Amino acid sequence: MQLHNRVDRKILKQQIQESTEKRITLSFYQYAHIGNPTLFRDHLYLQWSELGALGRVYVANEGINAQINVPKDYFEQFQEQLATITFLENVRLNIAIDDDHKSFYKLKIQVKNKIVADGLNDASFDVTNKGIHLKADDFNALTDDPDTVVVDMRNHYESEVGHFGNAILPDVDSFRESLPKVENMLKEHREKNIVMYCTGGIRCEKASAYFKHKGFDHVYQLEGGIINYARQVQEKGLPNKFKGKNFVFDERLGERISDEVISHCHQCGAPCDTHTNCQNEACHLLFIQCERCAERYNGCCTPDCQEFIQLPEEEQKALRKLKQQKRNIFRKGRSEHLKHRLQQ
């Protein structure tokens, strides 16, 4: 039985873009001991593909990290299936608040060494001794305390388009890189309340335990991350302390949390918080681009990439195989070609 998608991704993407089917985008994670991640992965793929679920899922011995969308008509059945898995019976589902129903176009479930790449030796500290979870109202109250330090545990390209006011924003490319940097930044605040947040909460689960191990006594984490916070604020009519967009790792690339636009187009400097990937697949750089620049450069990051995508498809494929055609995907807005970004 086929347990992998074999349809060309361009076809899948076009099908989703043209579809009118209502889908619910959600994310969830759970740390749990999984004895045979490969078997568990195959079980999930069989169940979820039958429901038409799409998304990106990581499974490891330490648990599961899932970002998916499910057809609205099958969402109840999806929840029932989760409930049959003991450690997922009451798992919190972070449901998107700004959903265009086109967040994913294929189902990809991978077995990994870890569900989040953190570079930590989990055997060296108690990963279950986590920070205290805060709901939105408690988060708002505690972050009003002058003896509280708020820390964004996300990457630079995430916090650039949206973050909580007065938060420490580490200039990092990865979660692995952020841990030692944040530890150094917090040295002078050891006696204060340390409140961490991330997109959906998973990074803070590990980070809060790590910082408690490092001697920080008053460690807290935003329960369910920005996604859950935004939903609670909306449902309870609470003050929204988040400014801008919440970057998300799917086709949407962002959820609008407040009307404020706090970032700028990486090409012209106009106010903008719309992330995109360069249309040149040999580059695929993630960067911020306004509508005017998107039209001017055909969705590309440079005139060179703009010229490249005008070539015949077969010629593009041949050139992408050459060594000098490096994919720029991991540079995420730091390319030397983005003139305005370098001036900031």
Tell me the CA distances in angstroms from 273 to 20, 232, 276, 306, one per residue in order.
Answer: 26, 23, 10, 22
- Choose the catalytic residue: 198, 290, 301, 305: 198
DSSP result, 106-162:
SEEEEE-S-SS-----GGGS-TTSPPEEE-HHHHHHHHTSTTEEEEE-S-HHHHTTE
Strand partners, 267: none
Handedness of CA 18, 23, 27, 32 (dihedral sign): negative
Pick the closest to residue 179 from 204, 145, 143, 142 (CA basis): 204
Amino acid, single-letter form, for residue 23: R
- The reply to whether 198 belongs to the active site is yes
- Asked if 258 and 264 touch (Cβ cutoff 8 Å), the reply is no
Which residues does the annotation mark as catalytic?
198
